[in-house]
Amino acid sequence: MDTKKYDEAFAANCADLLETNRRKRHDYASDDDPLSNFRFVAFVLDFAVQKGVRGRALVYLTHLATKMARLIELLGTGKVPKNESIDDSLRDLGVYSQIWRTDLQTEEE
């Protein structure tokens, strides 16, 4: 492949990523702060770490907090989701909680 074709393909991929970012950001972040969802998750994790939470629990909290940030954004602003439905996010919270619960129940000591 020559450089021109490579650059065109690379630019198309970047344009695709930009559009994906915009679509996802619509559901997860506030209009005035494109990183608000990351800030929320960081706040939750900082609080958890201060309370002594460690290990895999932080991974579960990350997933739960990310979905909560999405729900807060959508429900708080009345935005119509561009990706999965609100019901899907609520189900995700349930699934993540049950995965965590099962992990705790079956954890080897």
The CA distances from residue 64 to 8, 32, 59, 84, 105, in Å, are: 38, 23, 9, 16, 19
Give the pLDDT confidence score for residue 42 in this predicted structure: 98
- Provide, for the chain, the percentages of residues in helix, strand and coil under a 3-state DSSP scheme, each rounded to the nearest 5: 75, 0, 20
Per-run averaged pLDDT (10 residues), the chain, 109 residues:
94 96 96 97 98 97 98 96 96 98 88
Side chain identity, residue 70: R
The whole-angstrom separation of Cα 52 and Cα 20 is 36
Give the pLDDT confidence score for residue 31 in this predicted structure: 95
Please tell me whether residue 80 adopts helix, strand or coil conformation: coil
Give the pLDDT confidence score for residue 1 in this predicted structure: 80
The whole-angstrom separation of Cα 31 and Cα 18 is 16
Give the pLDDT confidence score for residue 71 in this predicted structure: 97
